[in-house]
Amino acid sequence: MNIGEIAKRAGVSRSTVSYALSGKRPVSEDTRRKIQQVVDELGYRPSASARALANGRTSTIGLVFPPAGNHYTGMQLDFIGSVVEAAAAYDYDVLLSPSGVDSDRSFQRLLGERRVDGAILMEIRLEDDRADHLAALDFPAVAIGRTAHPETGWWVGLDHTALAAACVHHLADLGHRRVAFVNRPEQLLRAGYESAHRGLDGFTKAAAERGLTVRTYCCGDDAASGQACLEQILRDDPDTTALVTLNEAALGGLYRGLARAGRHVPRDFSITGVVASRWAETVTPQLTAADVPAEELGRRAVELLVERLDQPGAPARHHLLTPPISLRASTGPATGSPQP
């Protein structure tokens, strides 16, 4: 069923039907009522493309979210779900674009064909060509994460520097002196992923401040890599008594490696890090961690984007979140250290 059939049955022109449905021009009440009666009888619903042509909006948000490796991690899927749920509350659909750079064809189609009203960018890099490209086009976008120059952008993010430092101070307060850092995969660090770089920076500076002996490791986003990384940590320094991790996908493997090495958590070895709460609570013992508020980050990103769409020209806004460490059961005093 289309506008032409409605016009024929209502005895009016196609343009009159279009004006009545869009409200762009006034139509007499009698004519509007006659058209509405036909619409109701036929159960007509204008297509999304027709609505977009009529009002210049697609009612769709683009989520530009490349998988960091060869698959999405649990935390990444949490972010996708949070954006979809928050967008639905504003009556927006979400189109996922797994694009990594501004030359990516999916990313270009998203922009060039105007498939979306605005975009949310994830997996942010310190130097991010996607963000630069969107800013140059003045295309409405919000990032989950910060580039190296976040002052003028719209974004929400976690303060990975402060959170990694808080984990170090927590372990140091428990008497740990030899601590490892388990980061994201090496290719992400080379590519400039901001969470990996800022987390490493926070860990390194806090460890120096507390006079700790530390080693840092990159680890693949999977359990097998986590186990291999833990085994390498103990080979490099068997006296290591604790670690901080940003890699929730490797968490199960880190625990398995400790169990196979005969290290009891937290009696012999403590683990903490920056991990979404539902993943921190799936391991045994549950992980003491700075909980990543994926739902809040997704919701705030959508809110900022809707604000930007509704108020073109509004000054840029952002939110930087620093959640506290949730004390669970994976950290304890270093062996030989007195109870605090």
Per residue in 164-177, pLDDT (tens digit) is 999 999 999 999 99
Contacts of 142 (CB under 8 A, 6+ apart): 118, 119, 120, 121, 154, 155, 156, 301, 304, 305, 308
pTM of the model: 0.82
C-alpha distances in Å from residue 277, one per residue of 27, 74, 274: 55, 11, 9
Predicted pLDDT at 256: 98
Contacts of 301 (CB under 8 A, 6+ apart): 83, 86, 120, 142, 143, 144, 155, 156
Contacts of 323 (CB under 8 A, 6+ apart): 158, 163, 290, 291, 292, 293
Q: Which residues pair with 70 in a beta bridge?
A: none
Assign 148 to helix, strand or coil.
coil
Measure the N-to-C terminal CA separation of the chain; round to a whole number of Å: 74
Max intra-chain CA distance, the chain: 91
Predicted pLDDT at 40: 82
250 Cα distance to chain centroid: 18
Q: Does residue 102 have a pLDDT over 70?
A: no
More confident residue, 253 or 313: 253
Contacts of 283 (CB under 8 A, 6+ apart): 251, 252, 255, 330
